[in-house]
Structure 1
């Protein structure tokens, strides 16, 4: 996940030093590794329960020791817990991570205390390690907040990185050559700044006025232009080309984070292809291509949890437009992607179940067919002993007016109810 530098971590692990390594960090990495590596060697799953027990014990003992290594360990352990379906623990770890990051001055928010601990950044290695941890902590906490529709303003919001610690992205990449997911995380941070500004205005008014009436089109268009300007300034090797690395495909999905906020915003109102619906349709078509390409050509699709936000967006769009002749084809691709991810992460059973519930609700798929699909998903990963206990507070639709009804687990819980209702209706007509 890019929370730390692999070289310094391995050096300290071999030399039994605890500068860039710790027992908690090792066990947190083991938790996440057990999840992902199950897709390659299923028997890896056998050590997963022990890894989580050990990591939780070490977190309670070492999690708040005030070290940078503990920040990295808490971030990784939080992610592992959330994707394991241990949402309560994952959220608790993320909360403490946020408090410690603000206290150490690694990142700050609108409600941060003006007094923070002073970090000793005496060596170049520590400067690089601090920069990397700070970027990743910021990105992970932003992901946790945005995927649960937690307070975007008027409460503590993860804000800009401390300029005394963090170099700008270009300087950081030159200083610390780290391609892959870390590079994507840095780019994600740039997008998030624009999204926070957008959401600050769209959610500032608490009345029932529709967003289209309380947010000027000029504002939305301005944010859209900033994103285009940002994208045009990216490094040349960030372009999607044939046989590009898998992390670049993941990067291409970041535009979907901004998509819903710009559904009402044309770029040039007089152009034939600038109508909001045209922009939206083009975005969804691109997402279809990305999802298909990633699943078909990259084995990482079977264990990359960052695949999920794109699947959320695409599935929602497909169920909103059942007139699309290819909606069923792409929706089934999304379901199969969740099935693959469920093999590694118990939480994705409920994700698939929630979207099958939505499909039934919209009368897009028959109840019997959704039951068969869910049964296939469950049978594909019988090694999850407590899959029914996996819980997530993911929000499947960030613009839904009632947050509690937009949570994945709430929609998944309606699956059996809708199956019984459909069977009752069918019985009445026969």
Structure 2
């Protein structure tokens, strides 16, 4: 069968060749940073595109195999390590790393330099400041000094300053004896740091120890002249109306004046204007026989340096006051003040046992019944009314004076804490008075706010804060310590108050003793606030987790750490003895000696222990010719020093015998029964064992036992 298909002719020629296929661009998984949105051939260290554009070529990846995701993960890890470095390394190292970061565009390169120890560690500003300020021994002290200059002022109390200024002269008057150089156990002069503090023996033959009566301040009172009375009106005093104790009007006026210019300027238990007005005009609104007897019982002790019979008269006034009190007196402002002064008189005689403390309890209960403090329904300014405002002023003065005194008693474990401070306004301005001969009455001058008045305002505010602390720390039902958050919140309140002090009541230049007493109270209260937390495991564990945490120990040290050259309490002591003849200023200030001596003996390695400890002992000894409790205080502190091995038994006996022989001491009327604590650390656990009575007995046992065993028991 023939094909119907048309036959195909053979091909006449071939098709034109196809154009050659273009070479494909090499694919890369990672482009350089400038070419991320453009084409990149992945060449390293510079890709073709960057080379053509003549720009810097930078890869975020380490090599061709690393992806962008892997690079970001690596960078994130490196930044985390850098942050950890800044957080955990010492401050000097962290500051050096931070400095490198600020001058580098690549944080990871800084990390690599740190890991290879190529970063030069510069001393921090804090380290530089500490090296330039030899008195500052910790970062905490420096930080407090910079941030709170009112509470922690920078004072020039270096060794050279003390040895070359008037401070040296005043200190030599307080400490006029050579330190014993030899003893059986250890030479006193060889106590570590003693020679460095006292310096080489210098010729001070022109400086002689001065008796209290030979150098006095402008406002001190002498019984020799009626012109030195606190107020000229006291020349018209008729003391026979108020007391049956046989004393002259001149004696009573002198003793009252001595009290008003010394302890009253700090205690302020009553309004002076109202008291003197009633005392002279024989009225009993703001004065009473009980108040007069109690006041003269205490004032006679201060006055005993002017009148030899005053020491015996003090006991007579005490007996009279106790007899009057047994008559069941009514509640009144004068009786509250009388109870406090009666207790103070007995305690200063070294007889502050349970019977004496009952007067503090009675005064507190009377204040509660009169709604001055300690109850919810408190007396207010509006509830006290008088034509001239005298009742309101006198009531507020007694309320705050009694409250402050009670807080001091709580501070030394004599009384339980009390809530609800006074609601009456703090007496802000004194009202100077003078006696008008024509009117035969007091005339009120224009109101002024003196530096002492302003100091008292802030003192009351400080005591109000501390009363809140007592309620927590001294609660007998509390089984555990409060949290550190609570303690530091109160600490900040203290600092806020001191930071707000006006310029004239800060520690700059010479200041009245009342101003120094305010700053002393501040550091005393801080020590008591943090004392329960010293060496506490909870604070140590917290500090291990938070290295920058300021521990209670560090703050405690800023006020009193003995290893520092001149912490705040020592500075205050130097200021007191160099600016004031404190041995003639009553006994209220003596707590600076107690707190300083306690801080010293607990750290026997303190380089300046001997100088300051003997200074405290000598200041107490100067008090003994007026206040008998000072003998027990000296014995107690010497016993504590022996127990802590801060001084040997032989040297303790030498110091005590020297003080007894050199000073114009009288014989103690009886053994000491005072329950005021001498060992502040022991008082938190066992108040009776820490009291002056117990420790004075212990000192007697130590010295007597050592005397009888001499040559029998080997040292």
Q: Of residues 122, 131, 136 in structure 1, which corresponds to 2:386?
A: 122
Structure 1 position 150, deviation (Å): 3.7
CA deviation map 1:198-237 (0-9, x unaligned) = 344445586876xxxx433222221111111111223333
Q: Which residue of 2 aligns with 1:23?
A: 289
Matches within 5 A, 1:9-408: 9-61=275-327, 64-88=329-353, 89-109=355-375, 121-123=385-387, 124-148=389-413, 150-152=415-417, 157-161=418-422, 163=423, 166-168=424-426, 170=428, 184=455, 186-203=457-474, 214-255=481-522, 256-262=524-530, 264=533, 274=550, 276-284=552-560, 285-379=567-661, 380-386=663-669, 388-396=670-678, 397=680, 400-408=684-692
Q: 1:37 to 1:299 in 2, by over 3 A?
A: farther
Give the whole-Å Cα distance in 2 for the aligned partners of 1:204 and 1:16. Answer: 44
Q: Which one is further off, 118-127 or 280-289?
A: 118-127
CA deviation map 1:241-292 (0-9, x unaligned) = 32211111111101212223235599xx889895544433331211112112
SS in structure 1 of the partner of residue 605 of structure 2: coil
CA deviation map 1:34-90 (0-9, x unaligned) = 1112245555334323222222223333x6222222222222222222212232443
Give the whole-Å Cα distance in 2 for the aligned partners of 1:128 and 1:368. Answer: 55
Q: Which one is further off, 247-256 or 399-408?
A: 399-408
Alignment size in residue pairs: 413
Q: Which residue of 1 aligns with 2:697?
A: 413
Q: Note if contact 1:287-1:310 (Cα within 8 Å) is conserved in structure 2.
A: yes
Give the whole-Å Cα distance in 2 for the aligned partners of 1:415 and 1:194. Answer: 37
TM, length-normalised to structure 1: 0.84
Higher RCO by CA contacts (8 Å cutoff, separation 6 or greater): 1
Q: Which residue of 1 aligns with 2:240?
A: none
Give the whole-Å Cα distance in 2 for the aligned partners of 1:120 and 1:204. Answer: 33
Structure 1 position 335, deviation (Å): 0.6
Give the whole-Å Cα distance in 1 for the aligned partners of 2:626 and 2:700. Answer: 24
SS in structure 2 of the partner of residue 20 of structure 1: coil
Structure 1 position 332, deviation (Å): 0.5
Give the whole-Å Cα distance in 2 for the aligned partners of 1:115 and 1:324. Answer: 50
Q: Note if contact 2:689-2:695 (Cα within 8 Å) is conserved in structure 1.
A: yes
The runs of 5 or more residues in structure 2 that have no matched partner are 1-263, 433-445, 561-566
Q: Note if contact 2:674-2:692 (Cα within 8 Å) is conserved in structure 1.
A: yes
Q: 1:273 to 1:332 in 2, by over 3 A?
A: farther
Give the whole-Å Cα distance in 2 for the aligned partners of 1:14 and 1:226. Answer: 43
Q: Give the root-mean-square deviation of aligned CA atoms.
A: 3.4
Structure 1 position 303, deviation (Å): 4.1
Give the whole-Å Cα distance in 2 for the aligned partners of 1:277 and 1:416. Answer: 34
Instruction: Answer 1 or 2: which has greater helix percent.
Output: 1
Give the whole-Å Cα distance in 1 for the aligned partners of 2:447 and 2:407. Answer: 23
Q: 1:74 to 1:328 in 2, by over 3 A?
A: same
Q: Note if contact 1:139-1:185 (Cα within 8 Å) is conserved in structure 2.
A: no
TM, length-normalised to structure 2: 0.52
